Amino acid sequence: MTLPLFFFYVFSAIAVASALMVISARNPIHAVLFLILVFFNAAGLFMLAGAEFLALMLIVVYVGAVMVLFLFVVMMLDVDFASLRQGFLQYAPIGVIVGAVLLLELLMLAGSFVVSPEVTASAVLPMDGVDNMRAIGQVLYTRYVFLFLGAAAVLLVAMIGAIVLTLQHKSNVKRQDPVKQVGRRPSETLEIVKVKSGQGL
């Protein structure tokens, strides 16, 4: 059994087992941790296939998006953080297991470049002598640059539209109005009171 094939079986087995734990876990915290483990193993499979760009995008976009989404869910819900701190120790074992598996996989992946350097050399290059990340960058920012900018503009408009549609102003919250503040006159803000000698207000 070659080293790439061994890593393929390891990453695939852990990814399948983690995916089953995601759909069977009753605790949402455990499900999110297993889902992150699935993404890391899928990224390892992409690295073995020579698709470094997809592997990095999977980690940066999906893992980051899942964690941010989970954070927003926790912030939106009425969660008793005192009770979460009390139950922290019951989540520690599963977190330690997931962290240990991720650390072991990273060490195995880093050690493969030293033990078997031909693993990276056997990766298929999409262009003549150019790795796929550089090839994607060259194609994306030359041939498809206008489509790329158009997609960015569409996403920006969609983000602004979502913010405008979901923004709700509360009537009982004091807000600043710069136009009214700048346009005020002294007569509207000051009141001169003549006080007689020996008398208070």
Residue 129 corresponds to which amino acid? G
The pLDDT score that the predictor gives to residue 157 is 94
Kindly tell me if the per-residue pLDDT of 146 is higher than 90.
Answer: yes
Task: Please state the domain extents for the chain.
Answer: 1-80+89-124, 125-166
Higher pLDDT, 16 or 65: 16
The CATH architecture of the domain made up of 1-80+89-124 is Up-down Bundle (1.20)
Q: Is 64 exposed, middle or buried (0-12, 13-18, 19+ CB in 10 A)?
A: exposed
**Contact yes or no for 32/70 (Cβ under 8 A):** yes
How far apart, in whole angstroms, are the C-alpha atoms of residue 93 and residue 58? 26
Identify the three-state secondary structure at position 50: coil
pLDDT per position as a tens digit, 168-180: 777 777 777 888 8
pLDDT per position as a tens digit, 53-112: 888 888 888 888 777 777 677 666 655 556 655 666 677 787 788 788 878 877 776 676
